[in-house]
Homo-oligomer: A and B are copies of this chain.
């Protein structure tokens, strides 16, 4: 979550068997700085462009997909088409606001645990489970304010 140095980013790329090119380091740096957000390729491109005017949009598209294949980042599911990426590779869920179209991270260890326990009570045939997450659909009440979810004493 804290910003990684370029050299740390380089190490992580190499650890995945990827050449640590300038372009990949910059794209990785930019997308990791967006932790908690779910950008499209164009947004990443616009952010890195001022300091790196020679990197092309096509490279950003390709690089983000390369990162997904290598597990460095994830895709996030969308309702209205369009590819969005998620710098957060920890198990977590998402809140979708149908007003603002925001996708908000929802990290809740108790929920993860609950689901894990639940799926132990199920016998899946012909399916190799990788992960699961929850989608919360609804609307922000005040679009400008944050959504918060706290534990409450039952």
User: Considering only CB atoms, which chain B residue lies closest to A114 in the complex?
Assistant: B118
Q: Are A127 and B114 in contact, with the CB atoms below 8 A?
A: no
Interface string of A101-125 (1 = CB under 8 A from B): 0000000101100110010111111
Q: Are B80 and A83 in contact, with the CB atoms below 8 A?
A: yes
User: Considering only CB atoms, which chain B residue lies closest to A150 in the complex?
Assistant: B123
Interface of A (DSSP majority class): strand
Residue in B108, B115, B123, B147 whose beta carbon sits within 8 Å of that of A134 in the complex: B115
Interface string of A56-85 (1 = CB under 8 A from B): 000000000000000000011111111100
User: Considering only CB atoms, which chain B residue lies closest to A74 in the complex?
Assistant: B79
Q: Are B137 and A135 in contact, with the CB atoms below 8 A?
A: no
